[in-house]
């Protein structure tokens, strides 16, 4: 009996290790996507820096104002395009993950994580087709395919209470997005300021050279 008990414990440990490894793989995949997009941003920033310098070097107030407005517009357009591309890529990778053999273990890990903040019994909400990856036994009384376009994962609710934990992949991405947006903004601002000339220095240089300066 002791050998059998030890064997079962070893199997349980192996299953948990595989689950954790799959979760780490998902996190690393998302991190790789973010890194790739950051490299794209750096390339665009380099082009924007050169465009900004060309506009500001004219030394004319009207041109500077236009350049500043254009730079603000470019930043907004760049940020929006960045997140749209990233979301599309993440959604594509997660759709691939949902068709993999390890998705059931990931779902079980997400349910366990959500359950830590709730009181059983639970009702799990998943996307259509995902109920097969989550068993309605133990603390999970029922699995409903009520969710749409959440990229996978689940929402765990208390069957006899009001508690709810949203552990869908789309919500997890939304939690990450604000911090990433702040970092992206700082990187853009820092990179654009590195080579953007000081308008006052430009004006002084033009005055010394005898060129007219408009205010």
Residue spans per domain, the chain: 2-201
- pTM, to two decimals: 0.59
Residue 210's pLDDT is 46
Question: Using one digit for the tens of pLDDT, what is the confidence trace for 154-205?
Answer: 999 999 888 999 999 999 988 888 887 777 777 766 766 654 545 445 444 5
If the chain, 215 residues long, is cut into consecutive pieces of 10 residues, what is the mean pLDDT of each piece?
Answer: 62 67 68 68 67 57 65 74 81 85 90 93 95 88 94 94 92 86 73 54 47 40
Total Cβ atoms within 10 A of residue 67: 21
Nearest to 117 by CA among 69, 54, 165, 182: 165
Residues linked to residue 123 through DSSP beta bridges, in sequence order = 142, 157
Residue 122's pLDDT is 95
């Amino acid at each position: 009996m002791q050998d059998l008990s030890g064997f079962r414990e070893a199997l349980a440990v192996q299953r948990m290790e595989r689950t954790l490894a799959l979760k780490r793989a998902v996190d690393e995949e998302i991190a790789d996507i973010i890194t790739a997009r950051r490299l794209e941003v750096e390339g665009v920033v380099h082009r924007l820096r050169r465009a900004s310098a060309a506009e500001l070097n004219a030394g004319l107030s009207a041109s500077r104002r236009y350049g500043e407005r254009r730079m603000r517009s470019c930043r907004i357009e760049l940020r929006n395009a960045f997140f749209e591309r990233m979301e599309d890529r993440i959604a594509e990778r997660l759709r691939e993950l949902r068709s993999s053999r390890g998705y059931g273990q990931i779902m079980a890990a997400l349910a366990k994580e959500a359950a830590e903040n709730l009181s059983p019994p639970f009702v799990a909400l998943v996307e259509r087709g995902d109920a097969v990856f989550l068993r309605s036994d133990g603390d999970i009384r029922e699995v409903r395919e009520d969710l749409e376009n959440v990229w996978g994962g689940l929402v765990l609710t208390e069957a006899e209470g009001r508690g709810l934990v949203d552990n869908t992949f789309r919500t997890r991405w939304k939690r990450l997005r604000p911090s990433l947006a702040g970092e992206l903004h700082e990187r853009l601002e820092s990179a654009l300021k590195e080579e953007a000339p000081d308008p006052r220095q430009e004006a002084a240089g033009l005055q010394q050279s005898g060129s007219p300066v408009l205010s």
